[in-house]
Amino acid sequence: MQIIRTEVTQATAPTGQPILRVIFCGEGGDCVTVDMARVYGGNNEAAISRAKAALVQTATLDLAVNDYDARSNWQFDEVAVTATKDENGGLYIFEYRDGGRGRQVPPSRMPSLEAAREEAVRCAIDLLVDLQPGTDDLSGWLVRLRDENGELLYAIDVQEAEAARLTRP
């Protein structure tokens, strides 16, 4: 879908809770709406950035990355990754923990390792919103960042994400 217009509005969830709604409108009248409970940064640009990340994260929800993952019943102990790099920056692989499962999204082009790490931290903060104390495991990693060869660069855990959340505006 070719996006021709993006709208950011305040709305109310069915629970009565205020939410931020980002609407991506495309040619032919198709629209995709992302409702978010909280957006850190407080401006439209931050809301759009978080909505895009949510779309990327959900685009691969419950899909196996490869045959091994399809057979693994989401119990990962092996990761197969392929990626490339060129003069426009590096490709980084983001892996997200979703409950007891992990999932990878297609490699993302980032201008630098620091930009990729900052995105991993931001995504980990977003994942904190969905964790339920007493129900979810609040230990271990939330987001892992790998290089183009699949080598682990960073693992952002719950404590690091919470500390980063508290220091951000």
**Any bridge partners for residue 26, and if so which?**
3
pTM for this predicted structure? 0.48
pLDDT tens-place string over residues 139-168: 778 899 988 888 889 899 888 888 888 887
**Any bridge partners for residue 9, and if so which?**
21
Q: Say if residues 146 and 162 touch (Cβ distance below 8 Å).
A: no
pLDDT tens-place string over residues 50-103: 888 777 766 655 555 555 455 544 444 444 433 334 455 688 999 988 666 778
